[in-house]
Structures are given as C-alpha cells and as structure tokens.
A and B are shown apart, each in its own frame.
Chain A
C-alpha cells in the first residue's frame, strides 16, 4: 500500500533529448508527489513537486504530469544537458507525513 514503483531503472539519451521517468502508486492517501535529483555522494535535492489537484506543472526544463485516476505521475526533462546526468527519485506522502521513495532512475545524457 505504501509502495511507489519507478521505471525505468536507467536510461541514456543524447543531449537535447527528453528523458521520461514514470512512477505509480497505490495509496490514495498520498497527496504530495515530489521529484528529487541526486548526484553521487550528495543528498537528494528537490526538483519539482505536484499536488493531485493539477495535472501538470512546469518549472524551467522540468515538467511533472499527473494522472490521478491512473495513480501515475511522470517527470520529463526538456532539452536535457550532460549536467542533468544524475539519479532521479520520485516520492509520495500523505499531508505532513513521511515520504515514500521510488527505486530511482539513473539518467545519463550524452554530449
């Protein structure tokens, strides 16, 4: 009930491509869905987050799409750059409660 399933585990794109990472959840009590970026040896940093009352949110080159009925959400990285190469985690939580993380996706953007 608390799981968040993330796919793919890894992906490689060329510079300028659009990596897409997908997450699915089961717990309908979740109402906060953030995405984190993590570089090796560092803690995760919040990229963008969405609440269930909207279906899409954009911040810079990062876009979250949210499908409440399917209980799925995804991250798109527009015009990807080599500096975007990192591990990305989706997460979810009920209001004010602990985060549950997806398994992570290692993204490599080739020059």
Chain B
C-alpha cells in the first residue's frame, strides 16, 4: 500500500531557530500533500495544502511566513517552522494523496513531535 515517510519523528530546538520537517511519498507520486498540526488531546487542524511546483495554499489564520512549505518534487514536501517559539510546540503530520487510489486516497505520515525550548 501507499506509504508516507515523515522525518524526523521528534525534534527539540531552541527558541528563535528554524526547523525543517520532511514528508516523502515512498511508492507513489503525490501531486498534492497536506500539512496538519495537532495539539495534545485535540483534533488535526489543516495548516496548508501544497501542490507540486506551485505555492502552497494556507488555511485562514496560519502564518505563511512562519510555516514555509515547499513541494519541489512529486515525492517530497517540506515544512519549515521559522523562528520557532514555545507556542509552536506541537505534533505536525503530513498527508499525501495517492492518485492510484482515486480522489479519495489519503495516506498519513507518522508525525513529528516538535518541542521548542
């Protein structure tokens, strides 16, 4: 089945630094990837939708200059949290649509736990 690999699985960084999270589709080409943020005991909140070769579409309230998304290839999307602060500490999850499963094939990565100290 479709596999989405996300790295790192956890990261600790100092306040003010930037952190990059990678999301790779291993066995399919993903023209569209999604980035979510999940706070403890809460649901997944969509941050942005990225399409290969074009700018990401951000959800209302998400700072595009703070959460930089790059989808430079059909198998890789990256999320960079710039100038991270403790309030950015969260669980970040990517998802990719597998065209082989039609318009309904969403596969999720295993998530990245970001802790900003």
Given A49-B104, A96-B103, A98-B34, A42-B110 contact (CB < 8 Å): yes
Q: B108 touches which one: A45, A96, A98, A106 (CB < 8 A)?
A: A45
Chain B residues with Cβ under 8 A from A96's Cβ?
Answer: 97, 103-104
In chain B, positions 96-117 with a C-beta closer than 8 Å to chain A are 97, 103-104, 106-111, 113
In chain A, positions 28-69 with a C-beta closer than 8 Å to chain B are 32, 34, 36, 41-46, 49
A89: Cβ under 8 A from any B Cβ: yes
For B111, give the chain A residue with the smallest CB separation: A43
**Given A32-B103, A42-B110, 12 extra CB contacts under 8 A:** A32-B104, A41-B113, A42-B111, A43-B108, A44-B44, A45-B108, A96-B103, A98-B34, A98-B49, A99-B95, A101-B45, A104-B43
A17: Cβ under 8 A from any B Cβ: no
Chain B residues with Cβ under 8 A from A46's Cβ?
Answer: 106-108
Q: Total interface residues on B, using CB and 8 Å?
A: 22
Whether B103 and A98, one on each chain, are in contact in the complex, defined by CB atoms closer than 8 angstroms, is: no
Chain B residues with Cβ under 8 A from A89's Cβ?
Answer: 43-44
Q: Determine the interface band of chain A, counting residues with CB < 8 A from chain B.
A: 20 to 34
Chain A residues with Cβ under 8 A from B95's Cβ?
Answer: 99
For the complex, what is the distance from the CA of A60 to the CA of B80, rounded to whole Å?
A: 40
Closest 7 A-B residue pairs measured CB to CB? Answer: A96-B103, A43-B108, A43-B111, A43-B110, A101-B43, A101-B44, A32-B104
Chain A interfacial positions (CB closer than 8 Å to B)? 32, 34, 36, 41-46, 49, 89, 93, 95-96, 98-104, 106
For B49, give the chain A residue with the smallest CB separation: A98
B6: Cβ under 8 A from any A Cβ: yes
B13: Cβ under 8 A from any A Cβ: no
B74: Cβ under 8 A from any A Cβ: no
B93: Cβ under 8 A from any A Cβ: yes
Give chain A nearest CB distance to B83 CB in angstroms. 26
For the complex, what is the distance from the CA of A73 to the CA of B106, rounded to whole Å?
A: 19
B68: Cβ under 8 A from any A Cβ: no
Give chain B nearest CB distance to A5 CB in angstroms. 11
